[in-house]
Structure 1
Amino acid sequence: MTSNWINWVVLGISVFILVAMGLISSRRVCNSKGEGGFLLAGRSLGPVVGAASIVATGYSGWGFMGSPGVAYKYGTIEVLGNFLYAPAMCLAVLFFASFLYRRALKMGSLTIPEYISRSHPGSPAMTRFIHGFAALATALLLLVFLVGQLRAMGMLGGSWLGISVNHAIVLMIGIIILYTTLGGMAAVAWTDTLMVAGMTAAAVFIAHRIFSDLSPTELLTQLEAIEPALVAPDTAAPYGDSRFQVFMIFPYAFLFSAILPYMSVRFLAFRKDVKIHQVALIMAPIACLLSLVPIVGLYVRIQHPELGNADNAMPYFLANFVSPLASGLITLFIIFAMKSTASSVLQVSSSALSHDLRVALFPNRHLSQKYALRFNRCILACLGGVTLVMTLYAPPVMLSLFAITATGTLMATLIGPVLISSFLPGNAHGALASMMTGFCLCGGLLLFTNTGWVEAPLIGCLVSSIVYVVVSRLSRMETLMVGKPRLLTLAESGSH
């Protein structure tokens, strides 16, 4: 009970800091720059804040709760897979962030769906339709992802504070709504910087605690004694049937960082003077340290092989293998990690509805900066309430499956008009066909087949990319062919 009171005090202090940062960002950015300040932090992120925000968002509930659970169940394959995220994320920033920033700035795009609609020529009705479709797909799939984040926070926060999981979920979403509504993207990015410092400290402490007890060699030896497949698996389950399919995580993580709106929207929020290579250099060591976290699942598998729910590996570790003070602080940092991604996802989901859907449906109706800002905040708060209801009634599914289903499907939906268009520009017809193909194919593979968690999104990305290029070329050729007879007729009428 005493430790619970201490945890409540620590949480109260952290909430005070988060809300204060939200208020400061609201006054300095949102109130002065209106909707652009709320959605993109007024394009004011420097290299440190930008790098911290990207890493904090990329490594979140799945990294601290879902990934140890997967390592507990499937073994060392998850540790290898997790380490592939760091170089992939850095390469995505190096090779795509600057291009996306310049192009979006030139077109005046504030969101990824708006970027898609403005970068693909077509009739006004068609561009509005793809704008709306991209917005709805983004909001729907990211809400599913957010459900997994909130459930992870509820599981960990409930045991930490001594309350039920559902009460913890209500508390956490309330905190996230409060500071995100106040400051928008600026509040999210600034609080991410604070959060990633705690996350990195937690990862270092966890690795030190485990390797002080068992050396890496001893860890592997004892795992092999429990089940040889934990150390030398015959497959890359849950990512694929072949052992080498684990390396598909690298392209998956690259696409994850470059395409998903809650990640790539940060590229649009950089200051003009930011050097992208500096951002990548700051990201690299932080991401590598955070990749150590899945070893918790391996350690708990050795100490308690009969754990009922694999996703409880991290809570079990904190409750049984570290001091109450360290457990409380690490739990706070892990909750910080989840809040980082949850606030980013909530902010991007709400902007898809409050800005993108509004612009797509009512292109000629313009709100003043004051009312646009108020509308964005209202939608964000309402969407947070909807997500809460979804989380309380969602079926019991592994946390990582929530994340993969949502992010993988969204990635396959947006790869054509966001990434492939950078090399092979298409049109509105190609963008729409690609998005619909990726949405249906990847979602179907993940929900109705046994295709690997990484394999399904990559198949969806490949097929939707091909559809993007083919449909764009065919529709362009059709337009030219339809226009030819008309040109001939005009030429003939001129000769007479």
Structure 2
Amino acid sequence: MLNWALLIVSATILIGLSLYSMRVAGDQDESGFLVANNSLGPFVAAATLIATGYSGFVFIGSPGVVYEYGSLELFSNAFYTPAFLIATLFFANYLRRKARTLGSRTMPEYIAQTHSSGMAGRWLQGVVAVIIILLLSVFLVSQIKAIGLLVSGWLGISPTMGALLITLLVIGYTMFGGLRAVAWTDAVMVLGMVFASCAIAYVVFIEIGMGELIARLDVINPELANPSSGAPYGDSPASALLLLPYAFLWAAALPFMSVRFLAIKQNVSMARVGIWVAILGLLLNFTPLAGLYAKAYFPDLASPDMAMPTFLAEGVSPLMSSVITLFILFAMKSTANSLMHTVSTALSYDLRAALGLHEGFTTTMTFNRLMVLIVGICGFVGMAYMPPVMILWLGILGNGTLMASLFGVTLCSTFWQGNSAGAFASIATGFSVSAFLLLGTDLGWVQGPLYGCLASAACYVGVSLVTRRALNPAVSSL
């Protein structure tokens, strides 16, 4: 009953914030739904960025990786904070200013406007939107699965029923308030996430002690406490360093992350946003410790992704377990609402713009909200029929491949401007290389997307240069 009460109270608060944000934004302009009327202050901007980045994969996936492969994940996970900080300080301001100059409301629109103002731009916006819909839907499915695993034990219901319940809640507060509601609810949820992370650290460092924990792990397998390989990221422990560029590209290139930069107020200093990013991110780096606890005391779990639920059931008191579970649920919901918003925006705004539809029902807020509903339901159905895979790997498949697809047209275009031909080539190459390496080889999880980024950048520059030279003689002859 306590858990149900906590869920109902938190759901009421989130829905209330959503309805209030809808009233503030108004229905006259899609800008409120798409980019929160460019109104986010420093704390809310940092909170929504961190809450979205430190999602179910950190609270459920990372402890599962620690349980399966050992303590290297503790080192790897620490790179997310500096990576997000670098993206905020050295990329966000450029993106925010250029998008405001162009009038871009979404990342597909920004990519299209920076490469072509004609039919090629519309095609580019449509292609990017389709890839976002495909790959972020994969990531959304992984989030919904993580939610189901967590809520089932918390509320005493089946994983499927738990996933359905929370999916409907996330649909509810996302569809009414758009990005403003997503950001405001994230700001509330990240505070709970910080509390949960610190509570995990207290149990491991104070109540148990790292000495006892390491001794137990050594009895099971000395590799757990002191890994000699970099699994699952590569052969060498140094492979963990790849998480720094990977996480930076995640924050800068993935649309559901970078769209938050577009929503920040014009007069807000990015340094102030960066300070909050650093504080919140550092406090959230304790979560993988739950995986060490589960491995030390319960080494025969049926699935690595049960590490965090096991810690909550056995490592803390029932009251603390209830509260921490609610806050971990916040982490999952913060990413799920961002994914629903980004995918539904690609459907309701970017595909519509690519098709040249500027009037009618498709331009209304009702249509935007309907797309959120459809995306959420499709994500739940996909989760129900998904084969058994690790949540973190599924998230990397969706996020990493999307990151590789968009690397050339987002990050490379910041330093060197290509054309639409180079943009199409880089998207196709990054997508193909990353997907093949993740699905068809035994390469480390982050190496595939990073190689895809390199291939995307090479094609972006190479094809742009070749097509420019091919067009110059034709222009001269005219």
The one-letter amino acid of 1:58's match is: G
Aligned match of 2:415 = 423
Using the TM superposition, name which of 223-232 and 279-288 deviates more.
223-232
> Does 2:30 align with 1:35?
yes
C-alpha contact 1:158 1:168 (8 A) present in aligned 2: yes
Q: Does 1:285 align with 2:291?
A: no
Give the Cα separation in 2 of the matches to 1:304 and 1:407: 31
**1:225-262 deviation line (CA, Å, top 9, x unaligned):** 32122122222110111221110000000000111001
Which of the residues 6, 9, 29 maps onto 1:10? 6
The aligned counterpart of 2:269 is: 275
Query: SS at 1:234's partner residue?
Result: coil
Q: Which residue of 2 aligns with 1:373?
A: 365
Asked whether the 8 Å contact 1:416–1:434 carries over to 2, the reply is yes
Give the secondary structure class of the aligned counterpart of 1:362: coil
Shift of 1:220: 2.7
Structure 1: state its 5+ residue gaps: 487-496
Larger Rg: 1
Asked if 1:95 is matched to 2:90, the reply is yes
Which residue does 2:439 correspond to in 1?
A: 447
Amino acid at match of 1:107: L
1:318-343 CA-to-partner distances (Å, cap 9, x unmatched) read 11121111111110000010000000
Structure 1 residue 448 displacement after superposition: 1.3
**Alignment match, 1:21:** 17
* Residue of structure 1 equivalent to 2:387: 395
Q: Write the distance in 1 (CA, Å) between the matches of 2:225 and 2:201.
A: 19
Q: 2:477 aligns with which of 453, 474, 485?
A: 485
Q: Distance in 1 between matches of 2:383 and 2:177?
A: 24
1:484 shift after superposition: 2.5
Distance 2:477 2:9 in 1: 73
Q: Distance in 2 between matches of 1:449 and 1:256?
A: 22
Query: Unpaired segments of 5 or more residues in structure 2?
Result: none
Q: Work out the CA distance in 1 between the residues paired with 2:243 and 2:217.
A: 23
Residue 84 of structure 1 aligns with an amino acid whose one-letter code is F
CA-atom RMSD, angstroms?
Answer: 1.3
Counterpart position of 1:118? 113
Deviation, structure 1 residue 371: 4.5
CA distance in 1, matches of 2:347, 2:137: 12
Output the amino acid matched with 1:330: I
Match of 1:55 among 41, 45, 50: 50
Give the deviation of 1:384 after TM superposition: 1.1
Which residue of 180, 183, 187 maps to 1:186?
180
Kept in 2: contact 1:30–1:183 (CA 8 A): no
Aligned with 2:405 (options 413, 418, 422): 413
Deviations 1:258-317 (A, max 9, x none): 110010000000011110011110111211111110011011111111111110001011
CA shift for structure 1 position 224:
2.5
Q: Give, in whole Å, the separation in 2 of the partners of 1:481 and 1:233.
A: 58
* Equivalent position amino acid for 1:7 in 2: N
Q: How does 1:1-400 map to 2 (within 5 A)?
A: 5-31=1-27, 34-121=29-116, 124-362=118-356, 365-367=358-360, 371-400=363-392
- Structure 1 segments of 4 or more deviating over 3 A? none
Cα distance between partner residues in 2 of 1:353 and 1:277: 34
SS at match of 1:419: helix
Instruction: Give the whole-Å Cα distance in 2 for the aligned partners of 1:366 and 1:115.
Output: 21
Change in CA separation of 1:30 and 1:461 when aligned onto 2, cut-off 3 Å: farther
What TM-score, normalized to structure 2? Answer: 0.98
Check conservation: 1:30, 1:184, Cα contact below 8 A: no
Shift of 1:367: 4.9
> Would the aligned equivalents of 2:204 and 2:210 in 1 still touch at CA under 8 Å?
no
Per-residue deviation, 1:10: 1.0
Shifted more, 384-393 versus 196-205: the winner is: 384-393
Q: Cα offset for 1:214?
A: 2.9
Percent identity over the alignment?
Answer: 45
| CA displacement at 1:31 relative to structure 2 | 2.7
Query: CA deviation digits over 1:350-369, x for unaligned, max 9?
Result: 00110000000125x3358x
Is the partner of 1:119 in helix, strand or coil? helix
CA–CA distance in 2 between the matches of 1:110 and 1:294?
36
Contact in 2 for aligned 1:30/1:41 (Cα 8 Å): no
| Amino acid in structure 1 at the alignment position of 2:260 | R
Q: What code does the residue aligned with 2:5 have?
A: V
Describe the SS at the equivalent of 2:190: helix
**Matched residue, 1:437:** 429
